């Protein structure tokens, strides 16, 4: 029984399934010398190449928590200045799980396990992400309750979430979805401007390293994470 080519590339730690689909669509992937198509199967002794480079299976996966600074872009495209891969300068090929926009700081998970990316990002799994947000004006109780109830942005309404006021201009928010610049757009809907946004937790992983530093997940964290995503 073969493995779909996009799943194969994620399982060997080359990229996520979405990233594999893009490479396949760009005709950069070959199976036994033949350009691969979406849905092609890889058998046990097949030779898979990407841009002519032989891809060999390995299961020596790494899982890391990075405290991303403002100004670093969540992309593996090394032609983009300030990309997260060059910033970390890790000796092996890794990629980010989800995104944290350039203007935001805080926790982002990095790995070479492509399968875990899909499980964590799948919206129906409703995995929690927690943020501390500062805005440019005094927060009203009305703002807090309306943010929690759901906000119309990007032609939809955000899911109900947990919002807690921490000070006159700072609040905590826990989301289970990840729209593009979601928190900033939600605040802008109520005429607030975000001045600082920090992600402090993804599921069971908490931010506990200095800005710009990273650490490997502990075995206990990884066990809990895998149970949460049922990997």
Per-residue model confidence (pLDDT) at position 45: 84
Decide if 63 contacts 220 (C-beta within 8 A).
Answer: no
Which distant-in-sequence residues (6+ apart) come within 8 Å of 140 by Cβ? none
Same domain, 216 and 112: yes
Which distant-in-sequence residues (6+ apart) come within 8 Å of 190 by Cβ? 143, 146, 147, 151
Query: Of 11, 26, 55, which residue sits at a domain end?
Result: 55
Per-residue model confidence (pLDDT) at position 54: 86
Residue with more model confidence, 196 or 10: 196
Range of the domain at 145: 128-202
95-137 pLDDT, tens digit each = 999 999 999 999 999 999 887 887 888 766 789 999 999 999 9
Decide if 85 contacts 94 (C-beta within 8 A).
Answer: yes
* pLDDT over 90, % of the chain: 74
- In total, the chain counts a number of residues equal to 231
Residue 210, SS3 per DSSP: coil
What pTM does this model have?
A: 0.77
For residue 107, give the nearest of 121, 118, 97 by alpha carbon: 97
Same domain, 107 and 217: yes
- Gap between the Cα atoms of 57 and 74, Å rounded: 26
Number of structural domains in the chain: 3
Same domain, 119 and 215: yes
Which CATH number characterizes residue 166's domain? 3.30.70.1560
Same domain, 217 and 181: no
41-77 pLDDT, tens digit each = 998 889 999 999 888 765 678 999 999 999 999 999 9
Per-residue model confidence (pLDDT) at position 59: 61
What is the phi-psi region of residue 87: left when phi exceeds 0, alpha when psi lies from -120 to 50, beta otherwise? alpha
Same domain, 147 and 188: yes
Query: Of 32, 55, 78, which residue sits at a domain end?
Result: 55
Decide if 49 contacts 29 (C-beta within 8 A).
Answer: yes
- Gap between the Cα atoms of 53 and 37, Å rounded: 17
- Gap between the Cα atoms of 137 and 191, Å rounded: 9
* pLDDT over 70, % of the chain: 97
Same domain, 110 and 223: yes
Same domain, 143 and 196: yes
Same domain, 68 and 104: yes
Per-residue model confidence (pLDDT) at position 58: 59
Per-residue model confidence (pLDDT) at position 11: 78
Per-residue model confidence (pLDDT) at position 173: 98
13-33 pLDDT, tens digit each = 778 888 899 999 999 999 999
Same domain, 217 and 168: no
- Gap between the Cα atoms of 134 and 193, Å rounded: 9
Same domain, 194 and 217: no
139-195 pLDDT, tens digit each = 999 999 999 999 999 999 999 999 999 999 999 999 999 899 999 999 999 999 999
Same domain, 20 and 49: yes
- Gap between the Cα atoms of 48 and 56, Å rounded: 8
Which CATH number characterizes residue 112's domain? 3.30.70.580
Q: Which residues form the catalytic set?
A: 101
Same domain, 149 and 119: no
Per-residue model confidence (pLDDT) at position 229: 85
Which CATH number characterizes residue 18's domain? 3.10.290.10
């Amino acid at each position: 029984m073969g493995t779909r080519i996009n799943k194969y590339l994620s399982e060997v730690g080359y990229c996520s399934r979405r990233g594999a689909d893009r490479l396949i669509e760009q005709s950069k992937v070959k199976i036994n010398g033949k350009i691969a198509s979406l849905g092609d199967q890889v058998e046990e002794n097949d030779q898979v190449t990407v841009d002519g480079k032989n891809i060999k299976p390995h299961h020596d996966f790494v899982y890391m928590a990075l405290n991303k600074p403002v100004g670093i872009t969540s992309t593996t495209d090394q032609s983009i200045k300030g990309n997260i891969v060059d910033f970390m300068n890790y000796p092996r090929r890794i990629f980010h799980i989800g995104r944290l926009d350039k203007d935001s700081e805080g926790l982002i998970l990095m790995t070479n396990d492509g399968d875990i990316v899909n499980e964590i990002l799948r919206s129906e799994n409703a995995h929690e992400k927690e943020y501390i947000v500062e805005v440019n004006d005094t927060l009203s109780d009305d703002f807090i309750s309306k943010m929690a109830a759901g906000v119309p942005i990007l032609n939809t309404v955000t899911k109900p979430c947990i919002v807690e006021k921490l000070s006159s201009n700072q609040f905590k928010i826990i989301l289970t979805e990840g729209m593009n610049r979601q928190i900033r757009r939600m605040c802008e809907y109520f005429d607030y401007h975000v001045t600082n946004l920090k992600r402090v937790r993804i599921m069971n992983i908490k931010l506990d390293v200095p800005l710009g530093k990273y650490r490997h997940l502990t075995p206990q964290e990884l066990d809990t994470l895998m149970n949460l995503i049922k990997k």
